[in-house]
A and B are shown apart, each in its own frame.
Chain A
Amino acid sequence: MLKIEGLSAGYGAAPVLRGVNLRAEAGEITVLMGRNGAGKTTLMKAIMGLVRAEAGDIDLDGADLAQLPPHMVPRQGVGYVPQGRRLFADLSVAQNIEVGLGAGPKDAASRRAVRAEVLELFPRLQERMGQRAGTLSGGEQQMLATARALCVRPKLLLLDEPTEGLQPSMIEAIRQVMVAMRDKGLAVLLVEQRIDAVLGLADRVSVIEMGRNAENFSRAELTEPENARRLRGHLGV
C-alpha cells in the first residue's frame, strides 16, 4: 500500500526528515511515534505534498505521490485529518463535508452514498449540518475533521493526533472509527503521543527520532514488557 523510502523533507533550508523509511499496509493501523519535533507531522504533510520531498519516494499502490501536484494527492485516495483539526471554521458542517467530497467520487450518486455512509458513522453531525464548524465542541470538531477526510473515500487514512484534548468518551468514539476503517481494509497511519492509546490498537509502531527511523515494533513485539519499556524510552516517558 504505502511505501516510503529514503524520504528527506523540511522547511526551506532546515531539513526535518532525513532519509525516513515507512510502510503502511491495507487493513492495518500503523502508528507513528516520536518526541515533539521528531518530524511526525512533517512526515504526514510530506505524504500529502504540503511539504515538498527533497529526496526519496512516497509510493502509494504504484503512484509516486512525491511527483504529483499537492492537490492531486487526495485524489489518489489519501484522507487527511490534520493536527488541531483545521476545519473551515466559518463554513457550516455541511459545507465542510462538501469540500471533502470534492476530492472524492465524481458522480453525484456515489457522492450521495459516501455522504450518507460518513454521516451514519457520525450521527451527531447530522443534527448540526447548518451549524458553523467553528462553533462545534472539540469532540464534534474532531468527528467533522474525520468525516471530511472519509469523504475522500480514502484507501490510506492519515490521522495526526486525533485524540489530543478530547474527553474519554470522544477518544473511544474516534478509536472505534479507526478500528472500523481498518476492518474495512483501509491503511490507517496514525500519529499518537500516548502509549496507552496505542497499545491494543496498533498493528505496528514506527518510532522516529530527529527526523530518522529509530525502531519498529509489531503488535506481537509490543506485548513483550522489554519492548514496551524501550518504546517508552524512545518517547522519554
Chain B
Amino acid sequence: MEFGPYLLLACLEGAVLAAVLALMASGLSLVFGVMRVVNVAHGEFYMLGAVMAWVVTSVLGGGAVINFVAALILAPLIVGALAVLADVTILKRLNYDPERTIVATIGLLYIIQQLALMGYGPEARPVEPPFNTRIALPWVEWGEGGISLYFPWGLSTTSYKLFVIAAAVVLLAALRLFMTRSRAGLIMRATQLDGEMATAFGIPVERVYALVFGAGAALAALAGVLIVPIQQAHYLMGGDALLLSFIVVIIGGLGSLAGTVVAAVLIGMSDGIISVFFTPTLAKIIATLLVALVLVFRPQGLFGVRER
C-alpha cells in the first residue's frame, strides 16, 4: 500500500483511540476540576466498565445489539453508583484533602483491581460488537484521465469503529451542553470556581462532589464499554488508559474540558500514526516527552488557567 492510504488508516486508528481517550480523560478532568481530587483509581472505573459490559452481555444472552445497548446503559450506571459509594465512604471522610485523597484512590485502585481479579479472573474476554461491517475506504489517484477513486487492498475500517468515533463526539457535545446550558452544570461550575461561596448560596457541595465523582467514573465506564468490542476486557487494562488520561489532562490543562478533548485528539492521533509507522512504544515515549515539555514551559497546560 502507498503512503497516503496508509496514513489514512493510521489516522482512523488514532481517531478511535482519541475518541475513547477523550471520554475517559473528560471524566478525570471533571473530577479534578470540580473536586480538586486526583483520582488515581480512574483507570479502574474504565476497566470496570469493560468488565461490566462483558457481564451484562453474558447474563442477558440476547442479540448482540440488545446486549450492547444494555451494557452501554447499565455499566456506566453501576460503575457511577459504585463511585458515589466510594466518595461517600472514603473521600468525604477525608474532607477531600488533595494529598490524602491521592493515597486513598491508590488504595481504591488496588481494591477494585484485586476484586476484579477475584471475581472476573485473569483472562481477557471479548464482547461481541453490535455491528461490525467491514467498510472499504477509497483513495484518489492521479492518472492520465485526471483524478479517479480506487479502493486499495487492505484500506478498510469497520462500522463499529466509526460508531465509536461518532458516539464519543455526540457524548462529548452533550457533556459540553450539560455543563454550559443546564442548571446542574451551572451548579457544578460554581462549585468548581469557589466551593465555599457555592455553599453560601445554598449549593450542597458535598452532594455535588459525590455526583461529579460518580459522573466522572460513569464517563470512564462508557469509554470502557465502547472499547471492549475492539480490545477485550482484562482486569489490568486500566493502567495504560490511566497513564494516557493523565497525559491528556496535563497537556490539555487540569480541569479544562475543551483542553482535554484537544489533547486527546493530539495524543490519540499521534499514537495511532506513530504506532502504525513505527512502534507503539515510541508513541508512548513521545507522549510522555510532550507532557514533560508542557510541564516545563506551560505548567497549567494548553487550555488551563494559571493558579493565582
Give the docked Cα–Cα distance between A74 and B187 (Å): 15
> 1/0 per residue B177-213: CB within 8 Å of A?
0000001001101100110111111111100000000
Chain A contacts with B in 174-191, Cβ cutoff 8 A: none
CB-based contact A90/B197 at 8 Å: no
| Interface residue range, chain B | 10 to 19
In the complex the two chains form, is A71's CB within 8 Å of B193's CB? no
- Inter-chain CA distance A69–B197, complex, in Å, is 14
Which of A54-62, A95-103, A204-212 sits within the interface?
A: A95-103
CB pair A102 B196 closer than 8 Å: no
Contact: A99 with B199, CB < 8 Å? no
Assess the B197–A86 pair: CB atoms within 8 A: yes
Q: Which residue of A lies closest to B207 (CB)?
A: A71
Question: Are B186 and A95 in contact, CB atoms less than 8 angstroms apart?
Answer: yes
Task: List the A residue with the shortest CB-CB distance to B208.
Answer: A71
- Contacts A50-B196, A50-B199, A99-B198 known; A69 to B190 CB distance under 8 Å? no
| Cα–Cα, bound, A176→B198 (Å) | 27
Residues in B with CB closer than 8 Å to A148 are 201
- Point out the residues of chain B lying under 8 angstroms from A152, CB to CB: 201-202
Whose C-beta in chain A lies nearest to the C-beta of B203?
A71
Q: Among A49, A70, A88, which residue has its beta carbon within 8 angstroms of that of B194?
A: A88
Across the interface, A102 reaches (CB within 8 A) one of B189, B193, B201, B205, namely B201
Q: Does residue A234 face the partner (Cβ distance < 8 Å to B)?
A: no
Chain B's closest residue to A102 (CB) is B202
Name the contact of A90 in the complex, choosing from B189, B203, B205 (C-beta under 8 A): B189
Q: Indicate if the CB atoms of B199 and A98 lie closer than 8 Å.
A: no
CB distance from B31 to the nearest CB of A (A): 18
> Which residue on chain B has the smallest CB distance to residue A44?
B200
Are the C-beta atoms of A82 and B200 separated by less than 8 Å?
A: yes
Q: Which of A71, A86, A98 contacts B186 (CB 8 A)?
A: A98
CA distance A24 to B186 in the complex (A): 33
Which residues on the B side are within 8 Å of A69 (C-beta)? Answer: 204
Which residues in chain B, 158-194, are within 8 Å of chain A measured between CB atoms?
183, 186-187, 189-190, 193-194
Is chain B's interface secondary structure helix, strand, loop, or mixed overall? helix
A50:B193 contact, CB within 8 angstroms: no
Say yes or no: B189 contacts A103, CB within 8 Å: no
- Determine if A91 is an interface residue (Cβ-Cβ < 8 Å): yes
> How many pairs, one residue from A and one from B, have CB atoms within 8 Å of each other in the complex?
61
> A99 and B201 in contact (CB under 8 A), knowing A88-B189, A91-B190?
yes
Given contacts A88-B189, A98-B186, contact A71 B202 (CB under 8 A): yes
Q: Mark B201-242, 1 if CB is under 8 A from A, else 0.
A: 111110000000000000000000000000000000000000
Contact yes or no, B194 A75, CB < 8 A: no
Instruction: Quote the shortest CB–CB distance from B306 to chain A (angstroms).
Output: 14
Bound Cα distance from A174 to B252, whole angstroms:
41
Please give, as numbers and ranges, the residues of chain B lying within 8 Å of A102 by CB-CB distance. Answer: 183, 187, 201-203
Which of B186, B187, B190, B199 makes the CB contact (< 8 A) with A70?
B199
Whether the pair B193, A91 counts as a contact (CB closer than 8 A) is: yes
Q: Is the CB of B186 within 8 A of A91?
A: yes
A46 in the interface (beta carbon within 8 A):
no
Instruction: Determine how close the nearest CB of chain B comes to the CB of A45; give it in whole angstroms.
Output: 8
CB-based contact A71/B194 at 8 Å: no
Determine the distance from Cα of A102 to Cα of B189 in the docked complex, in whole angstroms. Answer: 14
Q: Please, which residues of chain A bring their CB within 8 A of the CB of B190? A: 88, 91, 95, 99
Scoring A74, A75, A95, A102 by chain B CB atoms within 10 A of each residue's CB, the highest score goes to: A102
Q: Which residues of A contact B198 (CB under 8 A)?
A: 99
Cα A49 to Cα B196 in complex, Å, equals: 10
From residue A12, how far is it (CB to closest CB) to chain B in Å?
Answer: 12
**30 CB-based A-B contacts, threshold 8 Å:** A48-B199, A48-B200, A69-B204, A70-B199, A71-B199, A71-B203, A71-B204, A71-B205, A72-B202, A74-B200, A74-B201, A75-B202, A86-B194, A86-B196, A86-B197, A88-B193, A88-B197, A90-B193, A91-B186, A91-B189, A91-B193, A95-B190, A98-B186, A99-B186, A99-B187, A99-B190, A99-B201, A102-B201, A103-B201, A152-B201
Which 10 A-B pairs rank lowest in CB-CB distance, beginning with the nearest?
A103-B202, A74-B202, A71-B204, A88-B193, A70-B199, A80-B200, A99-B190, A103-B201, A86-B197, A88-B190
Extra A-B contacts (17), CB below 8 Å, given A91-B189, A98-B183, A100-B201: A48-B199, A48-B200, A49-B199, A71-B199, A71-B204, A74-B200, A82-B197, A82-B200, A88-B197, A89-B193, A90-B189, A95-B189, A98-B186, A99-B198, A99-B201, A102-B203, A148-B201
